[in-house]
A and B are shown apart, each in its own frame.
Chain A
Amino acid sequence: MFKNPMSIVLIGVAIAAALPGIGSAYGVHAAGKAAAGVVSDKPELFGKLLVLQALPGTQGIYGFLVAVLILVRSGILGGGAAALTTETAFAYFGSGLAIALGGLFSGIYQGRVAAASILMTAKQPDASARGITMTALVETYAILALLVSILALFSI
């Protein structure tokens, strides 16, 4: 397998896209369940809750973004992949790990905070901005992981 550096890069690409995707899917699912319950009772809150539900979805986008960036930078998309060596392939692999792990876990935990904020909004619709802020705090670490991934990728 290590004979072909491209396969190492592609495994990294798959991990970078899939793990944050799993995190986001879980997060959006947890928040969505809470939101659906609230909307059944208070349909007028749908707009506010949609924002909260969408928040844990960004990790999946970050992961997707890094995955495509790795494909482009390594030359797999757009040509130039022939120049890959095993060393650089592992470097590309590693650059994706930051967002993969950061996105996976922050997505899950952000989903839980989002669900709690949704229930808070159900009781106090005026407090939705505070719920959004609390939920966004968790995302900080996904953003930092994204930055590290991008910086690492561009310094290869």
Chain B
Amino acid sequence: MIVPMKHIDICAMQSDREELLRSLQRASVMMIVSDDETVSAGNTEALEQNYIDANEAIAFTKSSGKVSGLRPENVVSFDDLDKAAGEYAPLVSDMLATKELLEGKERELDRLNSQIDELLPWKDLEMDLGEGSDTKACHKFFGFLPMNTTISIPDGLPVDIETYGSSAKGTACMCIAYHTAVEEAEDMLREMGFSETPLPNADGTPAEALKTLEDRRTAVEDEISSLKKTASGYTSSIDQLEMDRDSAATELARAQVPVSLTDKTFMISGWVASDRVDELKTIVLGVVPYALIDVRDAEESEQPPTLTKNNKFISQFETLTDMFSRPYPRGVDPNPVMGVWYWIIFGMMMGDAGYGVLMLILFAVLKKVMRPRGETKKLINLLHFSSVTTIFWGIVFGSYFGAEWFPPLLFTPLDKPVEALIFSIIIGVLHIFSGMIIKMYDLIRNGHVMDAIFDQLSWIVLLTGIGFLVIPALKTAGMIMAIAGAAVILLTGGRDKPNIFGKISGGLLSLYNISSYFSDIVSYTRIIALMLSSGVIGMVMNLLASMVQGSIIGYFFSFLIYIAGHAFNLVMGLLSAYVHDSRLQYIEFFGKFYDGGGYAFDPLSADTKYVTLNDQRK
């Protein structure tokens, strides 16, 4: 059901603004909208920084220690959450300071490591690094020779080469030449592939410099490990941090509310569900007794947001419709009918009682462990609900983990594939008809009775008639219905056209739509195809598992194949059923009557990602 919306304006003194917005946020009752003249209600910049810091602190905590996913749920009231804003700021700034310190130390460690790497090949060089490369008599070349170069010095050249350790660059070496022989030495070195590299910049001999650096490295490593220890200690504060994030986000949401201002007053405008108008008025007047409240219906030119209200079962399926397109606020809500069909068809596509039981357990555990929220929670819930239909159809068609443990109530699809096809087509026809009936309801509600009869009912009669033709007992009735339906379509299909040619061609063209109805109906054979495919793959897994049995090792592998095979089949089956069931709803079902085009009702409320509020409905 789509809840009708009222437009509301509230005007009050600026001094009451914070308190009023807080009360509205607590009640989660009003969607406040912006226009050209509105500005943010609070100082968003500082609050945004708090929010960013809070997220950063949580990310840091999670990266520096193990945070249990099975902590008890943190349930608080809105006021507790609101009071917590800023309460943990010292903790957060402590943590961020630690984080910055740690990052600084890690950068220093990187730098030390690269300095040490650079020095290491020169470890045995016994001279001060700052000494320079020229003495009175000699010039020294420092650099690297390619690995495994054979060093051969021409006879009589006053040159000596000393090699040291090696690194990725090659073998470190020093070449000493008299000043008189520098040019010959250069030529010789070039031929050997020598690359001249300045010595690392440090004090003392390489060995001394290395010692200093390595001592420093040990010290830094100690500091890092003690900082990490501090950081991992923060994991015990994760609850506070999560609370901090949610309270910061909630405060920010309140500050971002668009308001129009005068010198002394402010005004907010937006939408409220018509059944909560009185509640809203009570809240506002409770805070500001002299506030001005103006409630009115939406004007023709305005499109209010869409809020659907369904029972607990159907509302889980709303997420499917919302992914397609939200209902238009003045249209019909497809969810009550769509949800039930989705539920039934999902079960048929899975079609295995064993997998149904697995789903029942699996999604119950998932809900306990993951504690999903919002859309994810709805998705998991609807898969959980669908386990019931999966078990049901599995029993009807006698499939238990791909084997027939009990005889089927109806028939085994593999033995009677044609019957199974007809069965899925009947489901499809009923599904499509229910969509057309909703369309008729919508047309009649808006006063288009003729359109309902000529464009919808005529097709229902025609298609039913064609179906009856197959059954010998109903053949005559089917013939009459088919002809009557076709005649109505032929005669009225072009009723909007101005002249006689338009009317005739319009009628013929409408009748041509029969091909699209047929392709829609044939599309439902996928139900049985998917049921067969998951059933047969299960069967194949059983077969493979039974083939390796015979010894103890055989039974072990057989067990592994059985478990892994059925797990794979279950996951693929769920994916296929989810996708193809959605497709049947979106294309075949919604195509008959539903356009959508609404946008979500998103009231000012607490923005919680971790904690659960006990006094706010979401």
- Whether A151 pairs with B582 at a CB distance below 8 angstroms is no
Question: Quick one: closest B residue to A67, CB to CB?
Answer: B540
Segment at the B interface, from A37-45, A80-88, A135-143: A135-143
Closest to A51 in B: B575
Q: Is the CB of B579 within 8 A of A150?
A: no
Question: Is B525 in contact with A55, judged by CB distance below 8 angstroms?
Answer: no
Q: How far is the CB of B278 from chain A (nearest CB, A)?
A: 34
Determine the chain A residues whose CB is within 8 A of the CB of B532 once the complex forms. 65, 150
User: Which residues A140-156 have CB closer than 8 A to chain B?
Assistant: 140, 143-144, 146-147, 150-151, 154
Q: Within 8 Å CB of A65, what residues of B?
A: 532-533, 536-537, 540
**A109-138 residues at the B interface, CB under 8 angstroms:** 128-130, 132-133, 136-137
**Could you say which of B324, B522, B525, B580 contacts A130, with CB atoms under 8 Å apart?**
B324
Chain B 421-439 residues near chain A, CB threshold 8 A? 421
Give residues 396-420 of B contacting A (CB, 8 Å). 414, 417-418
- The one of B522, B523, B525, B572 in contact with A58, judged by C-beta atoms closer than 8 angstroms, is B572
A21 to B576, CA, bound (A): 17
Q: Are B324 and A143 in contact (CB under 8 A)?
A: no
For A151, what are the chain B residues with a Cβ–Cβ distance below 8 Å? 417-418, 421
In the complex, A11 has a CB within 8 A of chain B: no
Known: A69-B536, A133-B583. A150 touches B572 (CB 8 A): no
CB proximity to A under 8 Å, residues B587-614:
587
Please name 21 pairs of A and B residues whose Cβ atoms are closer than 8 Å in the assembled complex, sorted by A.
A51-B575, A51-B579, A55-B579, A61-B572, A68-B536, A68-B543, A72-B543, A128-B323, A129-B324, A132-B579, A132-B582, A136-B579, A136-B582, A140-B523, A143-B525, A143-B526, A146-B533, A147-B528, A150-B529, A151-B417, A154-B414
Closest to B543 in A: A77
B586 within 8 A of partner (CB): yes
User: Is A105 an interface residue, CB under 8 A from the partner?
Assistant: no
Q: Which residue of A129, A139, A150 is within 8 Å of B323 (Cβ)?
A: A129
Pick from B526, B572, B582, B587: contact of A129, CB under 8 Å: B582
Residues of A within 8 A of B320 (CB): 129
Q: Within 8 Å CB of A128, what residues of B?
A: 323
Apart from A129-B324, A151-B418, what are 6 other A-B pairs with CB-CB below 8 Å? Answer: A51-B575, A68-B536, A143-B525, A143-B529, A147-B528, A150-B532
Chain A residue nearest to B575 in the complex (CB): A54
> Smallest CB-CB separation from B323: which chain A residue?
A129
Question: What distance in Å separates the Cβ of B584 from its nearest Cβ neighbour in chain A?
Answer: 10
- How big is the B interface, by class? 20 to 34
In Å, the complex CA distance between A129 and B529 comes to 22
Q: A133 contacts B533, CB within 8 Å?
A: no
- Cα(A26)–Cα(B582), bound, Å: 25
Question: Is B587 touching A137 in the complex (CB atoms < 8 A)?
Answer: yes
Complex Cα gap A77–B540 (Å) = 11
Report whether A62 and B533 are in contact in the complex, using a CB–CB cutoff of 8 Å: yes
Those of B516-543 within 8 Å (CB) of chain A: 522-523, 525-526, 528-530, 532-533, 536-537, 540, 543
Most A CB within 10 A of own CB, among B320, B414, B529: B529
Q: Tell me the chain B residues, 7-27 only, with Cβ under 8 Å from chain A.
A: none
**B contact residues around A146 at 8 Å (CB):** 529, 533
Task: List residues of chain A with CB within 8 A of the CB of B540.
Answer: 64-65, 68
User: B interface vs A, CB < 8 Å?
Assistant: 320, 323-324, 414, 417-418, 421, 522-523, 525-526, 528-530, 532-533, 536-537, 540, 543, 572, 575-576, 579-580, 582-583, 586-587
B421 touches A133 (CB 8 A): no
Q: Which residue of B lies closest to A149 (CB)?
A: B529
| Bound CA span A65–B537, Å | 6
Which residues on A sit within 8 Å (CB–CB) of B323? 128-130
Q: Closest approach, in angstroms, between the C-beta of A150 and any C-beta of chain B?
A: 6
B526 pairs with A140, CB closer than 8 A: yes
Closest residue on chain A to residue B320 by CB atoms: A129
Best-buried of B320, B540, B543 by chain A (most CB within 10 Å): B540
Docked pose: A156 CA to B323 CA in angstroms = 44
Tell me, rounded to whole Å, the shortest Cβ–Cβ distance linking B466 to chain A: 20
> A residues within 8 A CB of B418?
151
B200 to chain A, nearest CB (A): 37
Kindly state the separation between the CA atoms of A57 and B579 in the bound complex, as whole angstroms: 13
Chain B residues near A137: list those with CB within 8 A. 583, 587
B526 to chain A: closest residue by CB: A143
CB-defined contacts of A140 to chain B, threshold 8 Å? 523, 526
Residues of chain A within 8 A of B579, CB atoms compared: 51, 55, 132, 136
Give the docked Cα–Cα distance between A135 and B554 (Å). 41
Chain A, 63-81, contact with B by CB distance < 8 Å: what is the 0/1 string?
Answer: 0110011001000010000
Pick from B414, B523, B576, B586: contact of A133, CB below 8 A. Answer: B586
In the complex the two chains form, what is the Cα distance from A7 to B582 in whole Å?
42
Verify B526–A58 contact, CB threshold 8 A.
Answer: no
Shortest A113–chain B CB gap in Å is: 13
Question: Bound state CA distance, A51 and B579, in angstroms?
Answer: 9
The smallest beta-carbon distance between A74 and chain B, in angstroms, is 15
Shortest CB-to-CB span from A112 to chain B, Å, is 17
B contact residues around A61 at 8 Å (CB): 533, 537, 572
A-B CB proximity, top 5 nearest: A129-B323, A136-B583, A143-B526, A68-B540, A143-B529
Instruction: Tell me the minimal C-beta distance from B297 to chain A in angstroms.
Output: 30
Q: Give the chain A neighbours of B582 by CB distance below 8 A.
A: 129, 132-133, 136
Say which residue of B414, B421, B537, B575 sits within 8 Å of A147 (CB atoms): B421
